[in-house]
Structure 1
């Protein structure tokens, strides 16, 4: 009897262990406006979305996929809305197109057609850390479109977003180090204002963008247009070699 109990207990432990070690995997997905019924018999703005879907551990995958899709839904928001209500990419894209159709009906001489390009890709994967690069570029009238690049860092065991406190041992120390790298890249002397080259850092104090990207070789920070400089200056990128950044990191 005791032997039977021991065997059952051993099987249970193996099963639990296997469940805990489910690997996260990725599937490349894509979507365009051509998939929408609203565009079957009429010309629609171009909507191109390339993204990854996560699967493996159901609970963790659901959390990560929700964050990815929320980025896509938010990117397609138009007007004064700030919180997406769409339940699917199709619904979000339909909303974007319906706004364009309404604007076009109101302003038939409107120059240019709206379009949206959105992408989400995994750029770093380890047992402790997933990093996704998220890009969006929209044209909704005016002189030019506007795009952004941001990053999403995830704990693959829980599906929760990793905070700065979880990524860095001391964010202030790392920011001071990053400022030296930024000044070197932009050729700004230590005794000069951080805004010497026409940057727009508030209160003349250096700060990092809200998100950081991780690759095998480096950390990536992207200041999007208008973050610290004019649109004409384009995105400003700061890369720091992983070997230099490692002493400041809390994760491997």
Structure 2
């Protein structure tokens, strides 16, 4: 009887371990398009594994792509899928051509995503979008998404840190070191953390998109703060 009970406990442990293994995630790259699409190219990560977790991650990625392809007021987004947003983008272009039949301007959009960090605690994904709707130049925008590995929930920036003020002080030094040799005038009086921060292999990446704190000509400002300088401020492990 003792042997049978012992065997039952061992089997239960193996089942628990197996269940934990099921929540491990992997990613594939997918291309999303539609019929009659000549303008938009979308290549993004697709989370595979536990449905409750992967649905959260894939939905957040889709929402970012949809927002990137939306033309007009961001509060009026109607598309419910990437496919709908691609179709809408193409229809907007056809309307533009109808309204301005003599124009030679062309529209296009390229959206790519990549995994920049993955650990048992956290996954960081970068979505890079280039959208050209016939202006003087297209617009490049990069969005970082940080997810809890065990739940798939998006992590707000402030939840990445145990001590965000301590992190900010260290980061400020790196920021001014990054821009010291640049011939730019920043439209800020006091240093502020960017909207986009993410874990990467060597540290925390901080990225200011075009127009976020400086004129268009400045472009994207990006730098990395090494983990060894900031580990004590981070909520998640860097390994």
TM-score, normalization by structure 1: 0.84
Out of 75, 79, 93, the position equivalent to 2:68 is: 75
Task: Give the SS at the match of 1:79.
Answer: coil
Structure 1 residue 2: Cα displacement: 8.9
Structure 1 residue 6: Cα displacement: 7.2
Map of 2:20 onto structure 1: 20
Mapped to 1, the partners of 2:106 and 2:193 lie a distance apart of 35
Out of 219, 226, 229, the position equivalent to 2:204 is: 219
Structure 1 residue 170: Cα displacement: 1.1
Task: Provide Cα deviations, 1:155-193, integer angstroms capped at 9, x if missing partner.
Answer: 1101111233432121112112111121222239xxxxx
Contact 2:195/2:208 (<8 A) preserved: no
Task: Give the SS at the match of 1:150.
Answer: strand
- Cα-Cα RMSD: 2.3
Structure 2 unpaired stretches of 5+: none
Contact 1:167/1:250 (<8 A) preserved: yes
Contact 2:204/2:227 (<8 A) preserved: yes
Task: Provide Cα deviations, 1:85-135, integer angstroms capped at 9, x if missing partner.
Answer: 333322210011001101110111234111111111111011011000111
- Which 10-residue stretch deviates more, 215-224 or 4-13? 4-13
Map of 2:128 onto structure 1: 135
Structure 1 residue 226: Cα displacement: 0.7
Map of 2:31 onto structure 1: 30
Mapped to 1, the partners of 2:177 and 2:72 lie a distance apart of 40
Structure 1 residue 8: Cα displacement: 5.9
Mapped to 1, the partners of 2:40 and 2:31 lie a distance apart of 10
Out of 86, 91, 97, the position equivalent to 2:84 is: 91
Out of 148, 158, 167, the position equivalent to 1:174 is: 167
What is the count of residue pairs matched by the alignment? Answer: 235
Mapped to 1, the partners of 2:223 and 2:47 lie a distance apart of 28
1:61 aligns with 2:54: yes
Map of 1:198 onto structure 2: 185
Map of 2:146 onto structure 1: 153
Higher relative contact order (CA 8 A, sep 6+): 2
Structure 1 unpaired stretches of 5+: 189-195
Contact 2:30/2:45 (<8 A) preserved: yes
Task: Give the SS at the match of 1:161.
Answer: coil
Mapped to 1, the partners of 2:79 and 2:87 lie a distance apart of 10
The aligned runs of 1:37-52 (5 Å cut-off) are: 37-39=35-37, 44=38, 46-52=39-45
Task: Give the SS at the match of 2:129.
Answer: strand
TM-score, normalization by structure 2: 0.89
Structure 1 residue 11: Cα displacement: 4.2
